Structure formats: structure tokens, C-alpha cells
Structure 1
């Protein structure tokens, strides 16, 4: 089975526990204005097979295994290619690798149920809880995303909610209260990982001849993230790490 991919990182350190093989699949239906992988939106002709991934991972097993690392399938939106992801994670798990999926939650019903049995960790990105702000940031409604988050929380895989702190856009006290309320309403506890907004992906938009519409928004500072973490902890949430 083949997957349509954008790129591969064989020594990832920020996409899950330990050192990881990070497979970036191509294709995404969200239109996030702050996307740092704008070039992953369209499905690309470049492909990779499950066997090819396993061969590469075995070459790096001496790094992945001692660090309790493994594979993270990201994107783009990996669950738009759910059959491939399910086959890949199943094969990786059979080889003893830790498996993770990094999703934005905007995928068809039934996609997660194909992958969930083979995922040790789901990193679920929430852009904004307020519906209007979500449309402003992503161009899409978040109803399906929130439903998919609840499904992820009902499964057995470890769940981490990722939230990019964007100054003046989704970091107000009201925004963080909505995020806290969402997470505490889930069927089980989920940790939160706060990521600072940055403009490093702007160059990709420029290379594609596209305007970067958040030009006036400054990068989040370490203090911005620390303050957001403090608000969430006051609501009883576990903030796994920040920055």
C-alpha cells in the first residue's frame, strides 16, 4: 500500500516522545492562515510504501529504540489517507515501534476508527474553540473537528491536545476558558501542549507566490506561552510542556 507524501524527517525530536521518524503526508482540507507547511495542502505524486518506511526505520532503530521513540505520521492531514496510515502503524507496532498520529481533526467520519487500534498516541491540534475564530483562522467550521476530538478521547490511545498560542487571535482569557472547558468535558483526561506561534513558515507562502495574511501578528513570546499555561493549570489541566 502506498501513501502520498510530502517529506520525511528521520531524526525528529518535537513530534512525540523520544527520537522519531516523522512522515509528512500530503493533502489537507483546512486552510490555516498560520500554516507553516503550506506546501502540504495539495496531494502530491510522491509516494512511499509501508515496506519502504519499515526499511528506513530499521536502519535507525539504534536511535529510536533507546530513546523510547518511534514513528509519527503527520501532514498535511494524515487521516485523509486513513487506510495507508492504519496499515503503516500496524506494521510499525508489530516491529515494536511506538506509534503516533499528529492530526488537525478535519477528516471524514470513520477515518480515526481505522487508525485508532494501532496508535499509541494521538496529538490532536485545536486551532480555536470559538466557532467564529476558528473560521477566521482556518476557513472552516470546527463542528466536525470537535466531534472527532471526542471520538479520540473515547479511545485507548494516549491523547495530547496541541494548541498554537497566537497573540491577539486565540490567547485571550475567554479563548483559554473555552479551551479548558472543552478539554474538561472530554470522556477522559487529555494533556495540553502549548506551541508558540511563529512566522518561520512565511517563506513557504512566498515561494508559492501567496500572501501571508498574518503579517501583522507577532510571534508568541515565551512569556505568552507561560501565561497561557498558568491559566489552563488554574482550571486543573495538565500542561505537558510549553514552547
Structure 2
């Protein structure tokens, strides 16, 4: 585990306890938590201690809040997550996974079908060349296969998408994404994240070169145009 945040308000519905797990197979150029990428870092933390911490927060969760597991990529630890979410459901606590959709093993499928009340799925890029450039890995289809499995489960899903000028925020790509997902019944909303450089200092502290320093931030007009385009395809478009 990397860290725990209490009172998260941008990691799913309501007020949430956010558990950040260590390790990710992607190395996204815009990652604002690069310290969670190394799969050999982090600390072991007893599941029951985390469950107890969540129980202690139930009065703050209210009707909509709960626990979100993020990262890094939390589903690299899907076997342990399976037991964690089982216990949270026993305590009637809402569960959410923030994921890039690269892991779809049997434990993940069980989580998606029976224990994850919500999944927030990061869509990195709609095309293979763009996906490889942004993430350093091949085969964008793993994410879309993950989305198909979640859709088949009938359980709620949110999409997340980072708007990078000239890279991911072109009208063609936005329409492409909308057309791909327009018939999905489980997608409640899409959250778009305007590009920012808040994580650069973390890259530098790790001794890594931040390759998007020349990318600019979105103009208000670009953000509004993205919202307008995506509004043709999704029930709700939220700007984070």
C-alpha cells in the first residue's frame, strides 16, 4: 500500500476513504502520482485494519460515500482486494475501484461482478499509437475488454479521460470515444480532467524526465467544446 486519504471528494460519489495501492504496469506521461508506479515500493497493511478504519468513518460517508481503491493500479492486487471488498460489503460500505483496466483475471472478474459497486475506468487514448505513446505499453484493447466485462455485469461505471491539447482532446478522438461507448447502459457519467503539470516536481524528485513539459494547459474554450461533444453521447459530463 502507498497511502490512505480520508475525506476524498473527487474519487467517486460522496465523501470517501481513498486507499492508494503501490505499483502500476503503465508509465503514463502525465501521471501525477509517479511515486506509486514502482511495483516494489509500498508497505503491507492488514486488511482488517483498513476495514476498521472504514467502519469508523461510516458516519461521514453518509448515503453516497464509501471506500475507493486507487493507485498505482489497484487490480495488480486483485486477490487481496477481493477479500477487502468482501469485508466492506459485509459492513454495508460502498466500494469503488479506480483503474486503468489492464488486469482482467478471475479475481478481477469476481470483483467486477459481485463486489465493486462502482468502477471508474481511465480511458487513456482511443488509438493504439496514441496509447503506446502515452502509457509506454501496447494493446489498448485490454482496457476496452475490461469495459465490456463491466458492461455485461450490469453494474455502474464511470469513465475518466485526461484532455491533453493536441494529443487527446481533438474533436475526432472525442467523437470516436463517444461513438464507441454510446450504447453502453452502465456508464453513468464521464469525468474529464483538463491537463495540468502539478506532478512535475514528483517526477524530478524521482530523477525521471517529465516528457510533457512543453504541452500547454487547455483553454476554457477547448474544455467547453469537449463537454459539448461528449454531451452528445453520455448522460453526464463532469469537469474535474
Residue 172 of structure 2 aligns to a residue in which SS?
A: helix
Looking at structure 1, the residues matched to 220 and 48 of structure 2 have their Cα atoms a distance apart, in angstroms, of 41
Q: Once the two structures are superposed, what CA deviation does each residue of 1:86-145 show, in whole Å capped at 9, x if it has no partner?
A: 111111111111110000111244342131110110000001111111111111121212
State the match for 2:180 in structure 1: 182
- Residue 212 of structure 2: which of 211, 214, 222 is its match? 214
TM-score, normalisation: structure 1: 0.92
TM-score, with structure 2 as normaliser: 0.93
* Correspondence for 2:65 among 49, 55, 69: 69
The answer to whether structure 1 residue 230 and structure 2 residue 231 are counterparts is no
- Within 5 Å, give how 1:124-139 maps onto structure 2: 124-139=121-136
Structure 1 unaligned blocks of 5 or more: none
Closer, same or farther: CA 119–214 of 1 in aligned 2, 3 Å = same
Question: Which residue of 1 is the match for residue 23 of structure 2?
Answer: 27
> Matches of 1:178 and 1:110 in 2, distance apart?
30
Shift of 1:25: 0.5
| Aligned pair partner of 2:52 in 48, 52, 55 | 55
Superposed CA deviations along residues 162-206 of structure 1, whole A, max 9, x for unmatched, are 111111111111111111122125465452111111111111101
Assess if the C-alpha contact under 8 Å between 2:95 and 2:117 holds in 1. yes
Structure 1 contact 165–220 (Cα < 8 Å) conserved: yes
1: distance between equivalents of 2:224 and 2:178?
15
C-alpha distance in 2, partners of 1:92/1:221? Answer: 41
Rounded to whole Å, the distance in 2 between the matches of 1:78 and 1:173 is 31
Structure 1 stretch displaced more, 39-48 or 169-178: 39-48
Number of residue pairs the alignment of both structures matches: 237
Distance (Å, rounded) in 1 between the aligned partners of 2:119 and 2:216: 29
5+ residue gaps, structure 2: none
Q: What is the alpha-carbon root mean square deviation over aligned residues?
A: 1.6
Q: SS at 1:91's partner residue?
A: helix
